[in-house]
Amino acid sequence: MRKLIRMMVSLVILLSGTAFAAVNINTASQSELESLQGIGPAKAKAIIEYREKNGSFVSVDDLGKVGGIGSGTIKQLRDVVTAEVEKSAEAPVKQE
C-alpha cells in the first residue's frame, strides 16, 4: 500500500511540474499571453508590440513599461511568467 501511495504522489509531482511551466514573455504568442490571469487581447497585443519595437524584456518588471500594465498585474504574473532571452545564433564561420 505504501508503495502505491508513493508512486501516486510521485506521479502527481511529475505532472504538476509540467502543468505550471512559466510563459516566456519574450517568445509567447498572443494566445499564450491571453491565457495568463489579467491579460486580455489588448494587453497581449501591447506586450507583443512593445517587444517588437524595443527588443526583449530583460526582467518581468519590464512589463511595467507596457501601456496598461501596472504593478498589480506584474505582481500577479511574477510566479507564472519569465523573461528569458533566447541566445542568438553565432555568426557563421567564414570558409576560405
When divided into structural domains, the chain yields a total of 1
State the average pLDDT over residues 37-42. 95
52-63: pLDDT as tens digits: 999 999 999 999
Report if residue 7 sits inside a domain: no
* Predicted pLDDT of residue 17: 45
CATH number of the domain at 45, please: 1.10.150.320
60-92: pLDDT as tens digits: 999 999 999 999 999 999 999 999 987 754 445
- Sign of torsion, CA 40 61 82 15? negative
Report if residue 10 sits inside a domain: no
Report if residue 92 sits inside a domain: no
Report if residue 14 sits inside a domain: no
24's CB contacts (< 8 A; 6+ apart) are: 81, 82, 83, 84
How far, in Å, CA of 44 to CA of 41, rounded? 5
Report if residue 44 sits inside a domain: yes
Report if residue 43 sits inside a domain: yes
**pTM, rounded to two decimals:** 0.69
Q: To which H or E segment does residue 81 belong?
A: strand 81-82
What is the domain extent for residue 29? 20-82
Report if residue 46 sits inside a domain: yes
Q: To which H or E segment does residue 46 belong?
A: helix 41-54
Report if residue 28 sits inside a domain: yes
* Predicted pLDDT of residue 96: 56
